Amino acid sequence: MEFTAEQIAQFLQGRVEGDTSIKVNNVCKIEEGKQGALAFLANPKYYHYIYDTQASVVIVNEDFVLEKEVSTVLVRVKDAYSAFATLLELYNSMKNKKREGISSLSFIHKETNIEQNVYVGEFSVIEKDAYIGEDSQIYPQVFVGENVKIGKNVTIYPGVKIYHDCVIGNNCILHSGCVIGADGFGFAPLPDGSFKKIPQTGNVILEDDVEIGANTTVDRSTMGSTILKKGVKLDNLCQIAHNVSVGNNTVMAAQTGIAGSTSIGKNCFIGGQAGVVGHVNIGDGVKMAAKTGAISNVEDNTEIMGHPHLKARDYMKSFILFKKLPELEKRIRELEKQLDK
């Protein structure tokens, strides 16, 4: 489908600077712009591309100032990044229309409750007493265990495994290979050095609008529930252990690991390969840099870095000294030689 710059501006409540009738039928990065494509510009590092891009239309912030003329048509909006995200969502929904119907090659227990407009792909298994809400999409080779509750408009991509008794809220997205509700890592050491498995009798609850990346695992609780609250977003290859609670709208980048019985607050930003030990509380609004190792409680709205973690400003001050350690060691050895003489 094609859209004019004027139609895009109306949809985004922005204004056009240039030819309002120019048409686009695709999207692209600004540095890879081509005729007939739509791009956006929000990061100052990419400002210079605006003068060379071949994209027909570029979405920019209202306050963006041009240093010279451009050949592309601009659509000015309040927030270029969020506006482009809104357009991508529309573009994606049009490109990837919902599938319909239940494949004859799927296995669905006769005591399962499936609402209207649900798609179930080939070789998916839905076990006894499961519930699937309307408009949900279950792609091929998905396993849904006994008594699992899945809400409305949920998308579950191929190869997802949801163990028994887990609850998936409305509008959730589970990407390929993720596992929801596997046993938590609970073992009691015995006198002979072996370990006795502690039964994991709880479940996992994903509230509404949660998105789980590919090959991410969320373990069931020993008792009670492991909970990811509304709006949580997890990247690929994350590990959420048993009895963890993650607050509203918290996001975690790839390879993050959260140990058991830890509470993560709302609106937190956790960088890639970060780790949090068990039985601690991470406050609301915490920002955790990549590879941070949090080993104790963290107060609200704190930025932390390093392993073990420090406040970001303290870590940067310390890092200045870290870099000088070889030089300082050399100076100390020279002083020691002079003292010996």
Could you report the per-residue pLDDT of 125-174, keeping only the tens digit for each? 999 999 999 999 999 999 999 999 999 999 999 999 999 999 999 999 99
Instruction: Give yes or no: residues 67 and 205 share one domain.
Output: no
Q: Which of 52, 70, 95 is the last residue of a domain?
A: 95
**291 CA to centre of own chain:** 17
Q: Is the pLDDT of residue 91 over 80?
A: no
Position 325 scores a pLDDT of: 84
pLDDT band, residue 256 (cuts 50/70/90): very high
**In this structure, is residue 116 part of a structural domain?**
no
Instruction: Give yes or no: residues 168 and 36 share one domain.
Output: no
Q: Is the pLDDT of residue 110 over 80?
A: yes
pLDDT band, residue 22 (cuts 50/70/90): very high
Across the range 95-104, mean pLDDT stands at 84
**In this structure, is residue 215 part of a structural domain?**
yes
Q: Is the pLDDT of residue 123 over 90?
A: yes
Instruction: Give yes or no: residues 167 and 292 share one domain.
Output: yes
Position 275 scores a pLDDT of: 97
Q: Is the pLDDT of residue 97 over 80?
A: no
Across the range 75-82, mean pLDDT stands at 96
**Residues identified as active-site:** 242
> Which of 315 and 294 is assigned the larger pLDDT?
294
Instruction: Give yes or no: residues 194 and 78 share one domain.
Output: no
Predicted TM-score (pTM) of this structure: 0.83
pLDDT band, residue 289 (cuts 50/70/90): very high
Instruction: Give yes or no: residues 213 and 299 share one domain.
Output: yes
**In this structure, is residue 38 part of a structural domain?**
yes
Q: What is the CATH number of the domain that holds 54?
A: 3.40.1390.10
The parent domain of residue 40 ranges over 3-95
Least confident of 2-16, 28-42, 218-232, 315-329: 315-329
Across the range 330-336, mean pLDDT stands at 89
Position 89 scores a pLDDT of: 83
**In this structure, is residue 196 part of a structural domain?**
yes
Q: What is the CATH number of the domain that holds 164?
A: 2.160.10.10
Q: Which of 95, 115, 132 is the last residue of a domain?
A: 95
**In this structure, is residue 135 part of a structural domain?**
no
**In this structure, is residue 273 part of a structural domain?**
yes
Could you report the per-residue pLDDT of 191-223, keeping only the tens digit for each? 999 999 999 999 999 999 999 999 999 999 999
Instruction: Give yes or no: residues 197 and 294 share one domain.
Output: yes
- Per the structure, how many domains does the chain have? 2
**In this structure, is residue 289 part of a structural domain?**
yes
Instruction: Give yes or no: residues 48 and 183 share one domain.
Output: no
Q: In sequence order, which residues have a C-beta less than 8 Å from that of residue 270 and are 6 or more positions away?
A: 250, 251, 252, 253, 256, 264, 286, 288, 292
**In this structure, is residue 122 part of a structural domain?**
no
Instruction: Give yes or no: residues 177 and 77 share one domain.
Output: no
Instruction: Give yes or no: residues 299 and 179 share one domain.
Output: yes
Position 131 scores a pLDDT of: 98
